[in-house]
Structure formats: C-alpha cells, structure tokens
Structure 1
Amino acid sequence: MENNKHHLIAKFEKELKQYESFSDKMDILLKELLEQEKISYHSIENRVKEKSSLSKKIDGKNKYQDLSEITDIVGCRIISYFEIDVEKIVNLIFKEFKIDEVNSIDKKKILDPDRFGYLSYHIICSINDERAQLREYKNYKNLKFEIQVRTILQHAWAEIEHDIGYKSNIAVPREFRRKFSRIASMLEIADDEFSRLKLDIHNYVETISKQGFENTDINAESLKLFIEQSGDLEEIETHIIETLALKNVAFSEQMQEAIISFTLNIINKFTAYKEILEVQNSIRKNKELIKQFILKWAQLRAILLDRFQKHFDQKDGLIIGYALMMEFLETNHKEGLKAFFPDVSLQEKDEAVALAMKIYREITSK
C-alpha cells in the first residue's frame, strides 16, 4: 500500500498543472452557467486538493488504485444567498454535467433531526459528452470533480463549526449540545425566512407589474419597476438621445442600484412624495420642461455633455432626477437642488444651482 501511495502522489505531482487548469476552467464555466440562468450567488470557490490532504485521504481510505478513483481532487464550492437558489443551482448542475449519483450526497438527508441541516450538497461530476467534444474540454473528459452547494448561512455555520472543532453531535460535550442545537435551529429558521422574504418580494413586484402603481408606496422595488415600465421616461430618453446624438447603452445592475438608492434618498429627504403615482404625475406634468432643461443644461455645460456621452447608461433613472429638479426649481428648494451635486465643493454646488435656476427661468418664460 505504501508503494501505491507513493505512486499516486508522484502521478498527482506530475499531473498537477492539468488539475489546476481544469479547476480554472470549471470556475469560469460555473460562473457563465449561473449568469446565463440569472441565478444570483455570493461566491464560487475552486481548489485543487493539497498534496498533504491527498496523502491523508489515500491513507484513510486504503482502497485507491488510481487517481481517477479519487473524485474530489478538484473541488468547487458555490455559495448562494438563499436556500431556494440552492435547488436551482443543483438542478442546473444535473442538467449541465454527468453526475456520479452513487458518490454524490445531499448531506442534509443524513443528519440527525436535532442537528443543523447545513452540510450542503456534495455532487460528483464530470464533463458531459457534448462539452467533451469541444477542444478546450476534451483533455478533461475523464476527470471527476466535486461541487458543493450551500447558502451563505450554511457556509457560516460550517466555518464556525469547523473552527470550534466539533464535526459531529457525539463529539460535542454533553453540556454544550443544547446550545449547538438552539443556534443551529435559529440559523435554519433564518435561512428559511430569507428565502420566503425573497419570494414575497418577487410576488410583490409581479403584483405591481400586473395591477399598476395605484396606492403603491415608493420603495426600491416599486421605483425600479416604474423606471423599467414608464413610457414618459422612455419618451424623454429617446428625445435626448436623438437630439444630442448619444449612444443608448444598457446600464449595469450596479449602476441601476446606485441610481435607485440615490433617487430614493432625495425623495425621502426633500419631498413629501409617498406613492409612485406622485412621481409619475410630476414627470407627466413637467415632461416638456424636462426635455428642454436637459438640452439647455448640456449646451451650457460642456462637461455635462461629456458626462452624458460616457455615462448615459444611467438612462431613465437619471431622468427621474431631472424630474425632481423641476419640482425643486419651481419651489426654489435650493437644498434639494444641491443634493444632486454630492461630489463637488460648496462653491461648485452654488454655481450649479444658480445655472439650473437660470435655465429654468429661460424655459418657463417663453
């Protein structure tokens, strides 16, 4: 057995670069698959088993004759935010890879009922036949690897449990077992409730989408949906893009979230608006003024036009800001106006507000 162990370790060292290359490819592939399916996740971790760890495994099992029999030399861990996404990820893995079901485990199903069910899915995979035909994968078609899937709370529990050093209930001193169970149950309930909350928010957005914005309060989800659906915002956007000959670039999710957050802060701090329809009515009332203001603003401030060309991926979300500016200009709300220029000096804020007021007087005096 010792000679066989040395043989396996020597072979592992010889093929290490191949395993590392395979690990990198799996990292890229898994990210692409999740993004294509629009499944959100916290992180993907990939690793090749260390030589010392492999040696212990060979000693412990006392059965391996070839490296191909060791199914977790390459390992991937996908950490999701929600339990409901774990199921989506697992289904995707079963769809996209060959699965060694004999060696794959849903470890939650083998736990004692008084233990936290947070040991994740361990799925043994290999490249499927279709993908193995591709040049970049054909050298890896016979390699097996392990994918673990767990939520971020499951991962936190596993890491804490590992740090404490107790991996089974019988290893925990009797006086601490109740504490372990209590903490575990709280985390499991929290995981379930977060999943339920995500589903509730999804249903909330679906309801608004179907029934409209009547009696809908202003929040991140309703404002985001309003931006996506508003014909008035789209009309203003199209007019500005065509008049200034700008590129219509799709805006990133991160930019969208930043715009929503910025806009919500201004609405909550400087307006009395409570419902989405109030925002809609303001935009509808001032639609022509908004168009004229943005065009004048761009003409008088070349730096703004440059910013438009570089950052018009903000699109409709940016236009809501101008709609709010019209309300502030009408009421001479200088503090509200200054809030649109957070990253400049006090003097520059005053100059920008003065220019905005000058433009407003010009377009309303016609």
Structure 2
Amino acid sequence: MSFDTTHSNFLDQAKISHEDWDKSGLNWENLVSIASSYIELQPTLISTAEQISSRIRTFEGVHSVRWRIKDTMHLLKKIVRKNLEEKPQEKWTTINSNNYLSCATDLIGVRALHLFKDECIIIDESIRNTWNICEPVTIYVRNGESTHSELLERGGELKVHAFGYRSIHYIIKSQPEKIELTTEIQVRTIFQEGWSEIDHRVKYPDYSDNPEIKLFLRVFNGLAGSADEMGSFVKNLTKFLSDSEQITTNAFSERQAAFEERDQAIAQIASYIEELKELRIKDRHSQTLITNMQESMNKLKESQKRTATQTLAEKYSTVSTRAKQSSEITIRAHGVNSPWEIESFSKSLDMLGKALSNGTVIGRTQKGHND
C-alpha cells in the first residue's frame, strides 16, 4: 500500500506554509517513501502494541491500558516540525525510509494509567524488570512540582514541562518479529491522562500559540494536579482511619482477653480453695480413723495380754491343785500325817506357784517392751 496524497494536499492538511516547507529542507519524494513503508508496517506495529499492552495489564498498580499507532499524517508532520527547530537534530535532517524506525521512537505508544500518584513506583519497577530500556527515563513535571525520589535514584531524569504536562516516559526495545521495534510507554494518573487528552486534542500541533487556549489549559492542568493530590490525600486518610480502627479493635480485644484471663484465674483459684477444703476434711477423717485404729490395736494387745495371763494363772492353779494332791499322797506315804504339816506344805506350794506366775508375766512384759 502506498501513500497517495499529493504534496499540495499534505501542506493544506498539515497547515504547513510553503515558506516553512522550504525552510525545513525536506524532499517530498523522501517523505512519500517513508509514509509508504510505514503503512506497510502497520500490522506488525499493531500486533506489537497489543502484546505489550497485554503484558502491562498484569502489572500491579495499573488501572487500565491504552495503546495507539501513530497516524501516518502525524508522523510526516512531526518530521517537518523537528526540521523547523532552531537547531534540529541530525537524525531528523537525515531521516529516510531505512532509518525512520530508529528516529521516531513513539510510533507505538502505550499508556499505563493508575489511580494514585505513588503507584508509579511499582509500575516503574515492573517495566524495568520486563524490557530493556534504551533511553533514559524522562519524568515530566509542572513548574515547582517534585517527584518520587525512588524514580530519580533509578536513573530517571526530571524535566519541567513549560505547559504543565505530567507523565513518565520510557523507550523500550522489543523484537516480536524480524524487525526490532521501539515503543514509548507513558505512565500517568487518570487525571493526568484526562488533561493530556484534552490538551492534545485542542492544541497539538496546530494551535500551540493561541494564548487564550494556553491560559485555560493551564488552569485545567492545575485542577487536574489538585485532583491528584486530593486522591492521594483521601487514600492516605482512608489508610490512617483503617489503621486507627484496627488499633482500637486490637486494644479492645486485648482488654477483653485480659478480663477473661483474670476471670479464669479467679475461677481456678476458687477451685483450688475448694480442693484444699476437701483435702483438709479428708485429712481430719484420716486422722480420726488412724486414732481409732490405734486405740483398737491397743485394746487388742491388752486383751491378748489379759488372756495370756489368765490362762497362765489357770494353768498354775491346776498345777498347784494337782501338786497339793500329789504332795498329800506323798506325805502320807512317808508317814507325815500331821494336819499342820500338810497345810504348811500346801502354803509353800501356793507361794511357789504365785512367785512363778508373777515371774513369768513380768518376763513377758519386759520382753514385749524390749521388742
């Protein structure tokens, strides 16, 4: 597919005077050759834009992604505008169909939009980890505005834009097909995007010098910047309130836990007291039982002693009686017939029996004491 616009139609559509055209020093046939090559490359550019956009959508902090392929007329107008600068760069003065892809690095444009200003930090990290960046990252800010120090520490270059444009620009290289392509990734907030789109529609590139439009766009830019600041403030306020509520909830929970622990300790102590009371009662019963058993054992011992003594006495009484009977027979057998002799002999046996009985009992008592 070729570019079939005539030179005259191009100048009319681009609002370029013949004087500016002559001043640019460009050759119309060269521009036509660039335009024709660019039109043929459109399918590859579109496929690459979709691929990069799809990848960016997976990044943390990204709200939405937009992409565009630079319009052919806009590419040619940019080439003329760059050559009309006071000191045009060499790449623009020597541009042709073979090198235009390396000269114009924004033919593929992808915009990653985020809600809050500080989300650009994590998006910046994701871009650096995914692609090779072939030019320094440019951070455009309004006059008097600063940026996140993390971006500067990573090599970002801060530039104050005369018209209040705010965005972060990355130029990356990728090669989805045989040709190596460059893509410009722009990272900005939704409010910055809204202002930029309106600014581009009404001003770029044909009404850049209109003072009334510049004034109102500057006011609008200030409102968009205030909206960004308000969004960040609301985000931080919400986090602060949430953290405060969590702290209060944790403190209440800890207090309730302390009360429950105290109640459990009191209940445990009360349980221990009841157990001690039961043990004390059981101990008294045990002492009484031991005392009763001791008394019963003592009584049993006394009973055994009395039984033994009584039995011994009975045995000695029987022996004494038999001894008396035997002695009487023996006395009579030896001719002792005197009643007093028999009586005297019987008394002697009684005394001997008592003495033996007492001696035996005493011996048993002492033996039991020694044992």
Using the size of structure 2 for normalisation, the TM-score is 0.46
TM-score, normalised to structure 1's length? 0.46
